[in-house]
Amino acid sequence: MTADVRLVLGNQLTLRNPALPVAGAGGATVLMIEAPGESTHVWSHKARIAVFLAAMRHFHRLLAGEGLLVEYVRLDDDDAPEFQVRLENALRRLGARTLTVAEPGDHRVAEHIRAACERLRVLLRVQPDTHFIVSTEEFRAWAGGRATLRMEHFYRYVRRRTGILMNGSEPEGGVWNLDGENRRGFGRQGPGLVPAPPSFVPDALTAEVLDLVSQRFADHPGDLATFGWPVTREQALVALKSFVDDRLAGFGPFQDAMWSRQPHLWHSLLSCALNLELLDPREVIDAALEAYRRHRLPLASVEGFVRQILGWREFVRGVYWLDMPGLARANHYGHDRPLPGWFWTGHTGMNCLREAIGQTLSLGYAHHIQRLMVIGNFALLAGLRPQEVSDWFLAVYVDAVEWVELPNTAGMALYANGGRFTSKPYVASGAYIQRMSDYCGGCRYDPASRSGAQACPVTLLYWAFIDRHESSLSSNPRTTLMARGVARLGSGERRTLRQEAQRVLATMETL
Phi, psi (deg, nearest 5) at residue 420: -55, -40
- Minimum Å gap between C-beta 79 and ligand FAD is 28
- Minimum Å gap between C-beta 479 and ligand SF4 is 20
> Which residue in the set 153, 156, 216, 368 belongs to the binding site for ligand FAD (CB under 6 A)?
368
- Minimum Å gap between C-beta 495 and ligand SF4 is 23
Nearer to ligand FAD, 313 or 469 (CB): 313
Which contacts qualify for 72-77: CB closer than 8 Å, 24 or more apart? 72/32, 72/34, 73/31, 73/32, 73/33, 73/34, 73/35, 74/34, 75/34, 75/35, 75/36, 75/212, 75/216, 76/212, 76/216
Q: Give 108's DSSP letter.
A: H
Binding mask 294-323 for ligand FAD (x = CB under 6 A): --------------xx--xx--x-------
- Minimum Å gap between C-beta 44 and ligand SF4 is 27
DSSP-derived 3-state class of residue 388: helix
Number of shown-chain residues binding ligand FAD (CB under 6 A): 28
Q: Which helix (H) or strand (E) holds 358?
A: helix 351-363
Nearer to ligand FAD, 47 or 91 (CB): 47
Query: Are 159 and 171 spatial neighbours (Cβ–Cβ below 8 Å)?
Result: yes
Nearer to ligand FAD, 303 or 399 (CB): 399
Q: What is the Cα–Cα distance from 44 to 36, expressed in whole angstroms?
A: 11
DSSP-derived 3-state class of residue 167: strand
Count of positions (residues) in the chain: 511
Nearer to ligand FAD, 72 or 397 (CB): 397
- Out of ligand FAD, ligand SF4, none, what residue 84 binds, judged by CB under 5 to 8 A for its kind, is none
Q: Which helix (H) or strand (E) holds 127?
A: strand 123-127
Does 370 interact with ligand SF4 (rule: CB under 6 A)?
Answer: no
Binding mask 116-155 for ligand FAD (x = CB under 6 A): ----------------------------------------
Does 369 interact with ligand SF4 (rule: CB under 6 A)?
Answer: no
Nearer to ligand FAD, 212 or 401 (CB): 401
Binding mask 248-287 for ligand FAD (x = CB under 6 A): -------x-----------xxxxx--xx------------
Q: Which stretch binds ligand FAD (CB under 6 A): 110-118, 350-358, 370-378, 494-502?
A: 370-378
Binding positions for ligand SF4, 317-356, rule CB under 6 A:
350-352
> Which residue in the set 301, 409, 429, 437 belongs to the binding site for ligand FAD (CB under 6 A)?
409
- The percent of the chain in helix, strand and coil, each rounded to the nearest 5, is 50, 5, 40
- Minimum Å gap between C-beta 307 and ligand FAD is 8
- Minimum Å gap between C-beta 188 and ligand SF4 is 16
Residues 163, 164, 167, 172, CA torsion sign: negative
Which of left, alpha, beta for 193 (phi over 0: left; psi -120 to 50: alpha)?
beta
Q: What is the Cα–Cα distance from 211 to 206, expressed in whole angstroms?
A: 9
What are the CA-CA distances from residue 102 to residues 18, 174, 435 (Å)? 6, 38, 44
Q: Which residues bind ligand SF4 (CB under 6 A)?
A: 350-352, 430, 433-434, 439-440, 443, 445, 447, 456-458
